[in-house]
Amino acid sequence: MPENIAAILPELGLATAQTFMMLGIGLTAAVLIGGPLGVLLFLLGPSQSLQNKPAFVIINWLVNTVRSFPFIILLVALVPFTRVIAGTSIGPLAASVPLSIAAIPYFARLVDQCLREVPRGVIEAAHAMGASELQIVWRVLVVEARSGLVLALTVLAVSFLSYSAIAGVVGGGGIGDLAIRYGYYRFQTDVMVFTVVLLVALVQLIQFVGNTTARRLDKR
């Protein structure tokens, strides 16, 4: 093993744990807040059971606006807010704040798109049988779209793994921070290549788990 890589192995374990912490917090926020937001966006849309054009336009605009920000700009713009929430603007916990805010509308849009693929006839049949909106959401929409929702979460996880690496540029910690400090500032090309290979391996693992789970849940 190259000497430079051997020297960073103790830090690599911590950096990997920090990356997974940032990813875990961001994905949790996306599922708990972005998921219901995506369902609400779908239900408020045209020809849906809770159709409300003003509310739909406002929520749709907010989702699109936040999603339009490049993450590095959002990261910097949210520094004051991050300090209020996390008490600091550096470190993996602080980086989790903008990651979560970026993940929420991202996943909301993916959820909205997945639910739009549920056959209209299935929803109308549930309405005809007297199902409540909550029952339709949990027993019809989520069940019918579960495979797509898993794939959407997989896409989110892969995208935000790269976002967590970007957070390392401003001292967010994680694998990206390690690559910047050793691979870039110290000109240790082998460390840079090693961290890139590690990130690629993590992406492949996440994609494999997501695809396998979605395939098992797809009953079509």
Q: Per the structure block, which two tokens stand in for 44?
A: 């408020």
Of the candidates 164, 171, 149, 173, which has an alpha carbon nearest to the alpha carbon of residue 199?
A: 164
Residues 38, 111: contact at Cβ < 8 Å?
yes
For residue 39, pLDDT beyond 90: yes
Instruction: Specify the pLDDT at position 219.
Output: 67
pLDDT (tens digit per residue) in 190-213 = 888 888 888 889 999 999 999 999
**Domain positions in the chain:** 3-217
Give the distance from CA 146 to its chain's centroid: 17
Residues 183, 191: contact at Cβ < 8 Å?
yes
Residue 177 sits at the vertex; the CA angle it makes with 208 and 84, to the nearest 5 degrees, is: 100
Q: Which CATH architecture has domain 3-217?
A: Orthogonal Bundle (1.10)
The pLDDT mean for the chain works out to: 86
Backbone Cα Rg of the chain: 20
Of the candidates 182, 181, 174, which has an alpha carbon nearest to the alpha carbon of residue 199?
A: 174
> Residue 192: CB partners within 8 Å, gap ≥ 6?
179, 182, 183, 184
pTM reported for the whole predicted model: 0.89
Distance CA 127, CA 1 (A): 63
Residues 210, 151: contact at Cβ < 8 Å?
yes
pLDDT-above-90 percentage for the chain: 34
For residue 170, pLDDT beyond 70: no
Q: 135 falls in which pLDDT band (50, 70, 90)?
A: confident
